[in-house]
Amino acid sequence: MTVCYNGFMDKNSIRIKARIENLRKEIEKHNHLYHVLDRPEIKDSVYDSMMSELLSFEKKYPEFDSEYSISKKVGGKILSHFEKIKHEVKQWSFENVFNFEELKDWEKRNINILEKKNIFEKINYVCELKIDGLKVVLNYKQGLLTQAATRGDGEIGEDITENVKTIKTIPLSLKEKIDCCIIGEAWIAKTEFKKINEERKKNNLSIYANTRNLAAGTLRQLDTGVVAKRNLKMFSYDIYLYNFSTQISELEFLKQNNFLVNSNFKLCKNLEEVQEFYNKWQEKREKEEYSIDGLVIKINQNNIFDELGFTSKSPRAGIAYKFPAEEVSTIVKDITIQIGRTGVATPVAILDKVLIYGSYVKRATLHNGGEIERLDIRVGDTVVMRKAGDVIPEIVEVIKNLRPKNSKKFIMPETCSVCFGKLFREENLANLNRVSAGLFCKNINCEAKHREYFNYFVSKKAFNIEGFGNKSVDEFYDIGLIKNVLDIFKLKKEDIESLEGFGEKSASNLIEAIEKAKNISINKFIYSLGIRHIGETVAKDLATHFLSVENIQKSILALDKNRNIDELKKDFAVPGIGEKSLESLVDWFENVKNKIFLNEILKIIKIKQENEGEKQEKGVEKLENNKNILSGKIFVITGSLSKSRDFFIDSIEALGGKIHSSVSRKTDYLLLGENENEDLNHRISTKEKDAREFQIKIINEKEFYNLLK
């Protein structure tokens, strides 16, 4: 116990504290040498004895313990669950290309965008290995690791902070007291994977199919001690909320701050050099301890990266160049028809179970009748299988030399396999001469469509009713507890607690989850309606534009349906809404049964006006007063601000100003976040340096608002 006299520690306490701090520094040093630099200087037994001494001291003298001590990498905490958390920075995923021609098309699209902006800077690329692991997002405040999360859906992830603290290649503190967000890929070595699976076999436990599944399963362990023992690693490759001029400088910063950075990256002057690097690693990828499924290619200059911006799903300045998928052969045992929630009749090949790229595959979609004709696929055929993008199983070709005698061509049915109603070709209002390859069941009472829609309605992207999985939905439907989705909200505890798989507690939990789901954001509600071609992105666009479902309905019903689809698009005037989406919206909102359904469900649920708040945050009331007080003025924004960056961008543009991603002599104002220069130890950003050099006016938030008066 520490003994204090008038606030001062006695000599023994000072000695103990110094010993603890010295142990931490020495262990941290050797941890970095061993796990990051792969240059151990001491034997494991020496390392273990120092760690044992530190743990003993911290237990005996808890007043000297610290949540950022290297000892925390040993694990030991037992978690009850994983909290959902919102990312400070949206986590995008890169689009995929699979050959050099697609890669050149990607470059061409980017050059066209830049030329329209009068940007003719020579582009160079950074190639990094695409590690097949699990994306991890780390948040540091004042240089200390405060939170770690999974990617989740890009906006919401799971809090895995305690588990991440056990990963030896992730520093708990940085060399500088900065705020930043670090992105990396957690992985587990192939030798560790083999060792863990062998141990699980001995204990009659199921084995992991591949290293990625093991890494993901490990990070979701509730026992941090288990995580610590499995020796996860993480390659760090990106940093946000802290400015750098190039991707290469970001990687150098990460290395300087003791992160493990994959050293196999290369700066390339052109795509030909990229292709050489790709060919080299396609041949040698299996020799590494980590799984590699391609390259990640990023434009090195961050100012160009910013100028190119984003599509609805991905940054334009980066691409994943995937290696060819692993291919195997198997036999088609049958071809069945699956009816989806919108009535789409999809042929599915039932296969002899086959292991491909680390997981077993028994089914593969054949998309439509046109695809079956193209492949000339028949029951009994031996086919070549692969996973497109190493994710979706697909049939590449038929080995016709192995085709059974007397095999017959598969013909798409004329009737629905569930309700036996007639199947129809999809109508196309934009091009009446174009015949769709897809077939649809239009019977509104088709049971298959009902079942699929129930599962869709309760899914995470829609009402997100926890504990209401496909199995429960099917059981409730079969026994008549739910006949339409409105019945879900009428369920009572006594209705379900006696059912197989349910008890009093689980029944209560489900009822609570249903009650909680009654409060839903507008974009999720629009998505939950299951309107064809209305996915997450389009649902968000509609929510942001209209703010309420009633407004969407009024706008749709007000359209002159005698006009062609192009004229209707102009009348509707919602960015991001294409022909098919608009056709589907018109069909859905014109349907009498859907109108009744909408009226009924809006009496039951409460739509949270999150998007309304977002809309009002998007730019000083979106300039309803039509002032142009910033006309012609060019702004650059950097640093953390009190509101979202979109707020300031929309405000400036609404008032006639322009936003540029980098400072030039033409810039009028640099809007500087408060934390960019809050103390002398903080590194001045490139944008601030350039602004000072060009004598550009630097303003803070208060001064920005003064401009608007």
Cβ-defined contacts of 218-222 (< 8 Å, 24+): 218/163, 218/188, 219/134, 219/136, 219/150, 219/160, 219/163, 219/164, 219/186, 220/82, 220/158, 220/160, 220/163, 221/163, 222/78, 222/79, 222/80, 222/81
Query: Which of 293, 322, 351 delimits the end of a domain?
Result: 322
Q: Is residue 497 part of a domain?
A: yes
Q: Is residue 442 part of a domain?
A: no
**What was the pLDDT predicted at 262?**
94
**What was the pLDDT predicted at 644?**
63
**What was the pLDDT predicted at 384?**
87
**What was the pLDDT predicted at 261?**
95
Residues 566, 569, 573, 577: what is their CA dihedral angle, to the nearest 10 degrees?
A: -120
Query: Which of 322, 347, 378 delimits the end of a domain?
Result: 322
Low-confidence ranges of the chain (pLDDT < 70): 1-9, 32, 34-40, 43-49, 71-80, 325, 357-358, 388-391, 426-437, 575-576, 609-627, 640, 642-646, 661-662, 674-686, 709
CATH number of residue 45's parent domain: 1.10.287.610
The range of the structural domain enclosing residue 505 comes to 447-517
CATH number of residue 593's parent domain: 1.10.150.20
Q: Is residue 574 part of a domain?
A: yes
- Within this chain, do residues 375 and 234 fall inside the same structural domain, yes or no? no
Residue 211 phi, psi (nearest 5): -65, -35
Query: Which of 593, 617, 641 delimits the end of a domain?
Result: 617
**What was the pLDDT predicted at 677?**
39
* Number of other CB atoms surrounding residue 337 within 10 Å: 19
Please name which of 358, 76, 379, 125 lies closest in space to residue 248, comparing C-alpha atoms: 125
Query: What six digits make up the tokens of 125?
Result: 């690329």
- Within this chain, do residues 551 and 508 fall inside the same structural domain, yes or no? no
**CA-CA-CA-CA torsion sign (291, 296, 302, 305):** negative
CATH number of residue 121's parent domain: 3.30.470.30
- Within this chain, do residues 167 and 313 fall inside the same structural domain, yes or no? yes
Q: Is residue 417 part of a domain?
A: no
- Within this chain, do residues 545 and 667 fall inside the same structural domain, yes or no? no
- Within this chain, do residues 248 and 112 fall inside the same structural domain, yes or no? yes
Q: How far apart are CA 179 and CA 241, in angstroms?
A: 7
Q: Is residue 312 part of a domain?
A: yes
- Within this chain, do residues 506 and 540 fall inside the same structural domain, yes or no? no
Cβ contact 546:552 at 8 Å: yes
Strand (E) or helix (H) holding 96 = strand 96-97
**What was the pLDDT predicted at 111?**
93
Task: Give the active site residues.
Answer: 130
| Residue 359 burial by Cβ neighbours in a 10 Å radius (0-12, 13-18, 19+) | middle
- Within this chain, do residues 115 and 230 fall inside the same structural domain, yes or no? yes
Give the type of residue at 599: N
**What was the pLDDT predicted at 434?**
45
- Within this chain, do residues 43 and 59 fall inside the same structural domain, yes or no? yes
Q: How far apart are CA 54 and CA 59, in angstroms?
A: 9
**What was the pLDDT predicted at 622?**
43
- Within this chain, do residues 495 and 583 fall inside the same structural domain, yes or no? no
Matching residue, tokens 């957690």: 186
SS3 state at 512:
helix
- Within this chain, do residues 52 and 109 fall inside the same structural domain, yes or no? no
- Within this chain, do residues 280 and 307 fall inside the same structural domain, yes or no? yes
Q: Is residue 411 part of a domain?
A: no
Q: How far apart are CA 96 and CA 118, in angstroms?
A: 27
Q: Is residue 154 part of a domain?
A: yes
CA 352 to chain centroid: 32
Q: Is residue 543 part of a domain?
A: yes
Count of domains observed in the chain: 6
- Within this chain, do residues 578 and 662 fall inside the same structural domain, yes or no? no
